[in-house]
Amino acid sequence: MGSPMTEITEVVAAVLLRGDAAASEFLLAQRPPGKVYAGYWEFPGGKVDPGETLHQALVRELQEELGITVNDVWPWVCCEFTYPHATVRLRFYRIHAWQGAIAAIEHSAFAWLKAGAAACVEPILPANGPILQALALPPVYALSNAEENGVEAELLRIERALAGGLRLLQLRDKTLAPARRAEFARAVMALARRYERYERYERYERYEEGCAPRVCVLINDDQELARSVGARGLHLSSQQLWQLDCRPDFARVAASCHSAADLARAAQLGLDFVVLGPLLPTLSHPGAAGLGWAEFSRLVERSPLPVYALGGLQPEMLETACRAGAHGVALMRGWR
Ligand SMILES: Nc1nc2c([nH]c(=O)n2[C@H]2C[C@H](O)[C@@H](COP(=O)(O)OP(=O)(O)OP(=O)(O)O)O2)c(=O)[nH]1
């Protein structure tokens, strides 16, 4: 028999969401007196009973705790955390629809919080800090494609997209000549600054001066360029993922992953999110078979980091991706 410290308690937790993607809110609930961590705020949910599937446990917990019925749930991130009382494996699910009115059957109070803004309740269960950060990520991660579109046309596309609400952009274009790429990066940063609005985000020390930029540009592969143009984000290739021994010092760090080992490495380095692919055959690699949705789901099932699906996707595939466990979609051609 294993010692209690090595046993893992399986827990399911629900991120109930309302509003559209641009201004969504999620529900936190306050743990009642008598429970461990009484008074702390959590996502509704609880332990999986013996013999139950994760889905059955989630449906039961939400009926017992909130009096609502759910059936359409999207698997999202999974993290392990060791408390003095137990080591838990928390499976988070995003839920956009339910039947019944939410009632405080077991909790002391509820609060709807704006995704990406400072949490207005405290204390929050210690395992949940990264979860709130993940909720601040938008559904689309846009990848620049100046190589195909030309720099001027790409700047126009970026400006239009920023005006339309794009918040997460990777400057890719690895084959542009270095001076041209630097010029492009400076121009992209100038655009991003024009569309940047700051929101208070004081809980997470990673952000300078307690603020999270609403628009984040991540430079692919080049820390020096990222610093020289003032980008707050860095995107690592899967190769760099294995060359670095610690997380580079940027507000947001992401990486490209192709395997379970890459995903584990990104989590170990404490990155913010990853892209995983290629999902489907792409225009750039037409002959290569993609992972497909079933393999994608299998790979992301235990990922503590939010995952964007990448490769041959269209914006309309966002929901399919989310049902497979993705946080969102990374697009090179389909964003506008
Ligand atoms: N429900 C929930 N539990 C969380 C979250 N974050 C987090 O670390 N946990 C931990 C706290 C607990 O150790 C464990 C959940 O156990 P619990 O005591 O709430 O489980 P339960 O509802 O089945 O309650 P009980 O029958 O044991 O009284 O997971 C979260 O966001 N939601």
When pLDDT is averaged across residues 64-83 and rounded to a whole number, the result is 96
Pocket test for ligand 1, best of 47, 64, 78, 81 (most atoms within 8 A of CB): 47
pLDDT digits (tens, 9 = 90+) for 309-328: 999 899 999 999 999 999 99
Residue 174 in this model has a pLDDT that exceeds 70: yes
Q: Which CATH superfamily is domain 140-331 in?
A: Aldolase class I (3.20.20.70)
Same fold, 8-130 and 140-331: no
Q: Does the pLDDT at position 2 exceed 90? A: no
pLDDT range class, residue 197, cuts 50, 70, 90 = low
CATH 3.90.79.10 fits 8-130, yes or no: yes
Q: Give the residue from 164, 166, 160 showing the smallest Cα distance to 143.
A: 166
Q: Where are the domains of the chain?
A: 8-130, 140-331
3-class SS at 161?
A: helix
pLDDT band of 90, cuts 50, 70, 90: very high
| CA-based nearest residue to 142, from 197, 192, 194, 176 | 192
pLDDT-wise least confident of 1-5, 252-256, 277-281: 1-5
Q: What is the mean pLDDT of the chain?
A: 91
What pLDDT, on the 0 to 100 scale, is given for residue 23? Answer: 72
Residues in contact with ligand 1 by the CB-under-6-Å rule are 11, 13, 35, 42-43, 45-47, 81, 83, 86, 88, 90, 125, 127-128
Ligand 1, atom 10: nearest CA belongs to which residue? 88
For residue 68, the model assigns a pLDDT of 98
For residue 64, give the ligand 1 atom closest to its CA.
22
Residue from 5, 31, 42, 83 to probe ligand 1 pocket by mutation (most atoms less than 8 Å from CB)? 42
- Give the pLDDT confidence of 253-271 residue by residue, as tens digits: 999 999 999 999 999 999 9
The Cα-based distances of 47 to 61, 82, 91, 93, 111 in angstroms read: 8, 15, 10, 14, 22
Whether the CB-CB separation of 312 and 298 falls below 8 Å is answered with no
| Weakest-pLDDT range from 26-30, 41-45, 211-215, 245-249 | 211-215
Average pLDDT over residues 37-59: 97
